[in-house]
Amino acid sequence: MPPLQQRITFRLALENAPGMLGAVTSVIDELGGEVVATERTHEQRHVVFRDVTLDARDEQHADDLAVAMVDLPGVELLAIVDDVLLAHEGGKITVENTREVTGPEDLALVYTPGVAKVCRMIADDPVAAYRLTIRSNSVAVVTDGSAVLGLGDIGPLASLPVMEGKAMLLKSFGGVNAYPILVEEQDPDEFVETVARIASGFSGINLEDISAPRCFEIEGKLRQRLDIPVFHDDQHGTAVVVLAALMNATRVVDKELTDLRVVVQGIGAAGVAIVNLLRAAGITDIVPVDRDGIIEPKRRGTDPIRFRLAKQVNPRGLTGDKDVALEGADVFIGVSGPRSLPLELVQTMARDPMVFAMANPVPEIHPDVAGDHVTVMATGRSDFPNQINNVLCFPGLFRGLLDAAATRVTDEMKIAAAEAIAGVVGEELAPDYVIPSPFDRRVAPAVAEAVSAVAREQGHVRPGSRGSLESESESAMHAAARRAVERALEREAARGTGDFGVPKRAEPTDDGGAAEQDADAEPTGEQGEPER
């Protein structure tokens, strides 16, 4: 079962008598709670006030413990302080300045009148926004709240704590400024239109917690419309980490990646992305399954996404239930439901089977059940080895995309990210260590470097931005300087003056009048050529 997940503090008023604290802790222990700390906060003649901090299994268990405190003689429960709520009090992210404003000089530089110069530069050359504004390091975390974790369609506002958490991880692990954007719209076209209209303030779009199949349509249309990377992490982040783990798992069992027979169970957002990325990495024998068995093009009721996928995979043309798919398979990848992989089917797989059971919190098969029948076991849980966690991917991936000022995300970039994640494991590789910890700080920089390198190699960068090649940046800077000179010349021409405001002087003419000539013009010879 998952580890203790609720840490709460009971604020208690205890009768000032011997043994009262012991009575409280004994009840907590008897009900399965774990006392972490106690603190005497105040005392009166007949009453002692204490804070008792404890761990409970879940929210229901915490409620049961609170009821026990109320029922305990000589004890009054004054308040319950929830560490989860405290962690979210006032929100989890903020905006900070990069420069102090301490006086009129600072104000003139960062706001009016100095800001007008920067605005004119961006109006003339939009790429300048990547050098002179926050855009170069900004990502929008966009959701409609239709598929939030295990909570389902709870709406965008209720999803805000999740979006804040995503923004925190992008900042903490990748140094990326991320902002939650809540869109009250579930029509795909209207959603796309809304995001497209605000996209110019960002260098990347992270789509989050949008239900399938709408998420496929939304991501596809935004990628066609925008010139910045669009990345649905629920799909592609999971796929990248799965591929990274699989790269290392094949080394453990001494098999070639491209020779694997893979079964993917659960063809939703993550399942579709996993299949597509494995294909891009060279794996051809992939069989998609769901609760009804092998997904085939001819099966009735198959939606367009699954129909297209079914036509691209399953080269052996397998049909029937998933037991047919699993017989002789090297890999099982589950992004489906709890306890949906019987041990008997695992026992029919090829030698040294690799099982990635990622349903959360209860996997498709529990690691304790799989036991020695599986050589490499991975789950989505932190209390077992080989946790498949998206935080291994998206902070570093977006860091690399922003460093390169990338205009899109490609399969090659995702594969490079997977290779970088796998590479962090290095020589420590073992059956219970095929993927790094989400808290391994080596991961994000490695992913960022790999992704930005591929973006530049493929040419998916914005010339003139901080992410483009040095020669391109120099060329863009020269072009910007040339445009500035041209603007100055146009202004001066409109005022009737020479270059850069130097007045023109009069020159005698045959009739005694004067002709205008630039003050710095060179004298000419008889043929009108400059004298040398």
Dist CA 507 CA 530 (whole Å): 17
Separation of CA 306 from chain center: 25
Any catalytic annotation for residue 179?
no
Which tokens go with 532? Answer: 């040398």
SS3 string, 281-317, reads: CCCCEEEEEECCEECCCCCCCCCHHHHHHHHHCCCCC
User: What is 100-149 written as a DSSP string?
Assistant: ---SHHHHHHHSTTTHHHHHHHHHH-GGGHHHHSGGGGEEEEEE-SSSBT
Dist CA 241 CA 418 (whole Å): 6
Which tokens go with 5? Answer: 């997940």
Any catalytic annotation for residue 166?
yes
> Which amino acid, one-letter code, is at 235?
Q
Residue 142 CB-half CA count within 13 A = 28
Dist CA 491 CA 213 (whole Å): 55
Which tokens go with 444? Answer: 């994000």
> Which amino acid, one-letter code, is at 64?
D
Contact between residue 9 and residue 53 where contact means Cβ atoms under 8 Å apart: yes
Q: Of 130, 166, 179, 255, which one is the catalytic site residue?
A: 166
Q: Any idea which residue has 């996997």 for tokens? A: 363
- Strands (E) across 137-294 are located at 138-143, 177-182, 204-207, 230-232, 261-265, 285-290, 293-294
Rg of the chain over CA atoms, in angstroms?
A: 32
Dist CA 255 CA 242 (whole Å): 16
Catalytic sites, residue numbers = 111, 166
